[in-house]
Structure 1
Amino acid sequence: MQIRTATAEDLPILRQLEQAVIAAERPYNQAIKPQDARYYDLSALLDCPDSLLVVGEQDGKIVATGYVQHRDSKAQLVHARHGYLGFMYVDPDYRGQGLNQAIMTHLMNWSKQQAIHDFYLDVYSDNQAAIRAYEKAGFSPCLLEMKVHLCEQ
């Protein structure tokens, strides 16, 4: 797989892959809109100097994606900035080949060149396959977000 920086020409396929991510995560969160759901401002990620959006290509086809965005950390943390990883996606036909690991390594290496050494990402607590993949990359659970929906009366 060749990893390269995404370009504006990639936006149509990136939008399709974003919908694939949303479809894959909808079973873990019934609050995701059934239509017109969006996770990412892809154009902004392409233009932001604190972000790197990459694609993984195999045989001329984009089969994997991911981004890192450098963000200010919470004041109580020892690090002033961190990298947030998102849009981690691998086409189902190409899973199990280490592509997600390669994308994460590429993104974290880019960040380390800019003195970013702490990384965060979000994953649904019931998505055990994704959790295992992130644990394999050295991540560990840190914070559990909880939610409630109160019905109107």
Structure 2
Amino acid sequence: MTTNLFLNSATYQLITGQAIDIATLLKFLQTTYQERSPHPQDYRHLQSTVDRYFSAQTPLWFVTTSSRKIACLWLGIAIDQVTGIRHPNIFLVYVDPAYRRQGIGRALMEYAQVWAKAQGYTQIGLQVFTNNQPAIDLYQQLGYQPRSISMMREM
């Protein structure tokens, strides 16, 4: 499936990801973690995450220019720990740094919300690094509110 995205006088394509795109998904995941993790390290574990969770039930979309993939959205399914309701969970929203602040991330988030509603879901969730203030700001603008705090202690 291909959809046109018209943003700031630019036209992009939104395409459905396939198994052949796993290397690109992994690259985008690794880049995200390298940019945002408070403790840079080896991210080989992300390969096992993709191997374990990528399936027909975890939709993947890419934003493309005429020559390459510049952004992606990957969804999974989670269970709300308070209500027990199954809902989409955003595993990854990634936009290449050269294309940020142009509305692509917002367009992907809005696409996820429309997709979730069309599938009959009543809520959608995500996690965000605490040091990713631009993403936190965007998510709050779109109506997302903190529901829990994930805490970690280094040993």
Work out whether residues 75 and 90 of structure 2, in 8 Å CA contact, stay in contact via their aligned partners in 1.
yes
The answer for the alignment partner of 1:123 in structure 2 is 128
**Aligned residue number for residue 69 of structure 1:** 76
Partner of residue 111, structure 1: 116
2:75 maps to a residue whose letter is: V
Structure 2: segments with no counterpart, 5+ residues = 1-11
Using the size of structure 2 for normalisation, the TM-score is: 0.80
Asked whether the equivalents of residues 8 and 43 of structure 1 are also in contact (C-alpha less than 8 Å), the reply is no
- CA, structure 1 residues 117+60, in 2 after alignment: closer, same or farther (shift >3 Å)? farther
Rate the CA distance shift 1:47–1:37 in 2: closer, same or farther, 3 A.
Answer: closer
User: How far apart are 1:19 and its partner, in Å?
Assistant: 1.6
CA contact (8 A) 1:5 1:54 kept: yes
Secondary structure of the structure 2 residue equivalent to 1:65: strand
Instruction: Please name the residue that 1:58 is paired with.
Output: 65
Identity %: 23
Are residues 47 and 36 of structure 1, via their aligned partners in 2, closer, same or farther at CA, if it must alter by over 3 Å? closer
CA separation of 1:40 and 1:5: change in aligned 2, threshold 3 A: farther
Q: Secondary structure at the match of 1:82?
A: strand
How well do the aligned residues superpose, as a CA RMSD in angstroms? 2.1
Answer with 133-142 or 112-121: which moved more.
Answer: 133-142
1:48 to 56, 73, 81: 56
10, 20, 37: which one aligns with 1:9: 20
Counterpart in the other structure of 1:149: 154
Shift of 1:73: 2.5
Structure 1 residues not aligned, in runs of 5+: none
